[in-house]
Amino acid sequence: MSASDKVNSGDSLIVLREPEQLLRQVLGDELTVLDLRQTALVPMGENYGSSILKIDLVVKRKADAAEEKLGLVAKMSPATAFQQEMLNVKASMLKEIYIFKDLMPLYQEMQREVGVPEKDVIDVLPKYYGSRLSLDPSNREEADLDAVLLMENLRCRGYETMDRKTGMGYAHAKMAISKLAEYHALGLALRIKKPEIFAKARELIDIIPFETNTEVFAGMGEQIYKTICNDPRTAIHKDLIKKQIDDNANFECFYNMDALEPWLTLSHGDFWVNNIMFKNDNGKPIDIKLIDFQIAYACSPMKDLPYFLTGSLSIETIDQHFEDLIDVYHETLLDTLRTLKCDTAPFAREKFDEQLRYDASNQLYRCMMALKFFTMDAAENNIDLNDLKGTVILSKSNDTYVERLCRMVDKFVEKAWL
């Protein structure tokens, strides 16, 4: 491999080595790699929890087989010292590998067991091509810089994300929240029908793989509060918002994942625009894939809802379709549970609304923090992943952030989520 094929994303050199070892897990022991090219898939500052590499390969599955081109993505350890300090790479890697290798096939098996037609069986992940924690065969406990989850490059098949700064229109948001509801319902059904397997899943998924560095994030609450006070549309709610910020001074909103039945399921954890990819036909969504399950958790499914609904929708969609999308979510959740032969009585609308209010009640600060990242332009703002405090957290709020923050606060107040 030439030096130009390597990807240096900051403090550590992150490069995919020995791809044959990975690919043979899925494509057979005789596979050989004839050519490998790798580059950064996304610009610096577009991904905070890992290094994402674009992998282009030419392979042969057997010595006498035809050559094949593969367009893949390698999700690897984050590159900067700050990211590596914040993230437990082993926990995040094991979690995502389990979801790709084991959990999704379990969900698909449950659907087939009740006669769901193959065309309707859930298929929301990129195709899996192999994984590892290390190249060192003696290292089975810790993830190192060779840890990787290898998957298909969805862009090669025409999938794309929406504009994270402006958010989703209604058609895309409806497809996204419907698929999220199906995913959540499958987790509920797994707990109800196969509790031993669900308990095993929790062992890997029920770990928060990051530490919120209070020193780095110090001042963000004050910065958000200043933005709130400077706009008359949000200033009227400043006391409610100040309480949310004060109550989450140690970022409790990131860690408060109450495991309450009957709502206990497996969440996505980071369900926002950049982690949802669509295939479109003349601007209309015809298929969807979900990515980035690093902070999935066993908790109420509604923990994912305020984060998505207030942080990933366009202003027009928030204004015109907010309630519609909550209805779509609940209806899809119940429809999926019925199909899986689960009792839906515990998940009736009145109980759903009550649980949603409870789950959302401490999430505004988390949503406001996330929105700052969602609405920043990595290139324009010259984001330095070793200096998030200076380049993101304490940076001036742009107009897009202020406008979407107003809608976010309005919805939390309107829905009594405070």
* Average pLDDT of every residue of the chain: 90
Question: What is the 3-state secondary structure of the chain?
Answer: CCHHHCEECCCCEECCCCHHHHHHHHHCCCCEEEEEEEEECCCCCCCCCCEEEEEEEEEECCCCCCCEEEEEEEEECCCCHHHHHHECHHHHHHHHHHHHHHHHHHHHHHHHHCCCCHHHCCCCCCCEEEEECCCCCCCCCCCCCCCEEEEECHHHHCEECCCCCCCECHHHHHHHHHHHHHHHHHHHHHHHHCHHHHHHHHHHHCCCCECCCHHHHCCHHHHHHHHHHCCHHHHCCHHHHHHHHHHCCCCHHHHCCCCCCCCCEECCCCCCHHHEEEEEECCEEEEEEECCCCCCCEECHHHHHHHHHHHCECHHHHHHHHHHHHHHHHHHHHHHHHHCCCCCHHHCHHHHHHHHHHHHCCCHHHHHHHHHHHCCCCCCCCCCCCCHHHHHHCCCCCHHHHHHHHHHHHHHHHCCCC
Q: Are the CB atoms for 411 and 322 separated by under 8 Å?
A: yes
Q: How far is CA 119 from the centre of its chain?
A: 25
What integer is the mean pLDDT of 14-24? 96
| Neighbour tally for 139: CB within 10 Å | 14
Among 298, 297, 306, which Cα is nearest to 366's?
306
388 pLDDT higher than 70: no
* pLDDT confidence band for 252 (50 / 70 / 90): low
pLDDT of 130 reads 97
**37/45: higher pLDDT:** 37
pLDDT of 339 reads 99
386 pLDDT higher than 80: no
Asked, as a colleague might, if the bond just before 262 is cis with ω within 30 of 0, I would say: yes
Q: Where are the domains of the chain?
A: 3-87+125-151, 155-414
5 pLDDT higher than 50: no
pLDDT of 9 reads 42
Sorted by sequence, the CB contacts under 8 Å of residue 402 that are 6+ apart come out as 227, 231
Sorted by sequence, the CB contacts under 8 Å of residue 61 that are 6+ apart come out as 27, 28, 30, 31, 68
Distance in angstroms (rounded) separating the CA atoms of residues 259 and 271 = 19
Query: pTM here?
Result: 0.92
Q: Are the CB atoms for 54 and 40 separated by under 8 Å?
A: yes
* pLDDT confidence band for 8 (50 / 70 / 90): very low
pLDDT of 78 reads 85
Least confident of 9-23, 25-39, 217-231: 9-23
Distance in angstroms (rounded) separating the CA atoms of residues 53 and 133 = 16
28 pLDDT higher than 80: yes
pLDDT of 197 reads 98
263 pLDDT higher than 80: yes
pLDDT of 2 reads 34
| Neighbour tally for 252: CB within 10 Å | 13
Among 306, 299, 244, which Cα is nearest to 272's?
306
Q: What is the pLDDT of residues 394-411, one digit of tens each?
A: 778 899 999 999 999 999
Domain 155-414 has CATH 1.20.1510: no
Q: What is the pLDDT of residues 214-235, one digit of tens each?
A: 666 677 888 899 999 999 999 9
Q: What is the pLDDT of residues 322-332, one digit of tens each?
A: 999 999 999 99
Q: What is the pLDDT of residues 176-207, one digit of tens each?
A: 999 999 999 999 999 999 999 999 999 989 88
